[in-house]
């Protein structure tokens, strides 16, 4: 079976920053599983995986637009000023790190300061960088109806069809 929209893909990978340093690797964090074409991974990788099958290995390089975006294109959010530590240097351009649900980190860059609110850009730590990935396709299967409905991969794949 080949990767196409709606298939569940299991992938091992190494993700490197523009200096070639490994930022994340499936050897450490485990292989990833996702539904192809649903926006669960960086856009460039989602497109380039189409047509690959189990056992295929590839090396890819992604410019910021195909990976984690450009710095200036990061989404903005207004935050109450009192959510920042009192000693925090609130000046335009100041950078802070914040945690997201699930343990991911995001860099906050101050764009504007008002009396009660601060406007920040929420920047992925790799935004603005060209990144590279080495991947190996470990599995490809049809998503279940529940997976298609929720957009989330089941922890255990369905059993293989009988009689094959």
Two tokens at 68?
């984690």
- Return the H-helix or E-strand segment holding 29: helix 26-29
Considering Cα of 116, then 91, then 70, then 105, what sign does the dihedral take? Answer: negative
pTM for this predicted structure:
0.74
- Same CATH fold, 75-123 and 7-68+128-150? no
pLDDT tens-place string over residues 100-117: 777 777 888 899 999 899
Enumerate the domain spans of the chain: 7-68+128-150, 75-123
DSSP 159: P
Give CA separation, 58 vs 32, 46, 158, in Å.
Answer: 16, 13, 27
Beta-sheet strand order (sheet of 105-113):
76-80, 117-123, 105-113, 95-99
How far is residue 31's CA from residue 90's CA, in Å, rounded to a whole number?
Answer: 39
The mean of the pLDDT values for the chain is 88
What pLDDT score does 159 carry?
A: 59
Q: What is the pLDDT of residues 77-99, one digit of tens each?
A: 998 988 888 888 889 988 888 87
A 10 A CB-CB count for 74 gives 21
Average confidence (pLDDT) over 116-127: 89
Please name the fold of domain 75-123: Thrombin, subunit H (2.40.10)
Q: For the domain bounded by 7-68+128-150, which CATH number is listed?
A: 3.10.50.40
The answer to whether 2 and 140 have CB atoms below 8 angstroms apart is yes
């Amino acid at each position: 079976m080949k990767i196409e929209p709606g298939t569940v893909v299991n992938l091992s990978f190494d993700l490197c920053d523009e200096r070639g340093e490994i930022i994340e690797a499936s050897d450490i964090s485990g292989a990833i599983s996702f539904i192809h074409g649903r926006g669960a991974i960086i856009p460039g990788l989602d497109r380039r995986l189409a047509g690959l099958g189990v056992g295929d290995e590839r090396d890819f390089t992604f410019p910021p637009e195909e990976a984690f975006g450009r710095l200036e294109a990061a989404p903005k959010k207004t935050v109450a000023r009192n959510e920042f530590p009192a000693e925090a240097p609130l000046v335009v351009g100041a950078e802070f790190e914040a945690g997201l649900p699930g343990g991911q980190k995001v860099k906050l860059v101050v764009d504007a300061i008002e009396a009660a609110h601060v406007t920040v850009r929420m920047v992925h730590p790799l935004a603005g960088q060209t990144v590279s990935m080495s991947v190996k396709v470990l599995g490809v299967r049809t998503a279940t109806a529940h997976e298609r409905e929720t957009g989330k991969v089941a922890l255990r794949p369905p059993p293989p069809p009988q009689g094959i």
